[in-house]
Amino acid sequence: MKRVVRTQTYQDDLDAIEARIAEDNPIAGTDMWLHIDDQVELLADPNFPRRSGRVNGTSELVAHPNYIVILEEDAATVTALNVVHARQKWPA
């Protein structure tokens, strides 16, 4: 099992997503925050699916059809760097 680390940028992105969704539906905002973060926690299992990243040295987790988590990994750790909307141009 790998250690899962969440950067401040990841947490800020997740909070911003929750806030945007919560403007219309607070429960849905909280549910999305929990859903994405639960998917990140599953990355402790090295067999949990992820794809090669568009930026060299990264991988990506499609945590929800609308949200992609950008990751860095080594043998012992997976680090959640950012959460981007699937329609967002990444990298910018």
Segments making up each domain of the chain, as ranges: 3-85
Q: What is the pLDDT of residue 54?
A: 92
CA 83, chain centre distance (Å)? 5
CB within 8 A of 82, min separation 6: which ones? 7, 9, 10, 13, 69, 70
Q: What is the pLDDT of residue 19?
A: 98
Name the stretches of the chain with pLDDT < 70: none
CATH 3.30.2310.20, applies to 3-85:
yes
Q: What is the pLDDT of residue 85?
A: 94
Q: What is the pLDDT of residue 51?
A: 95
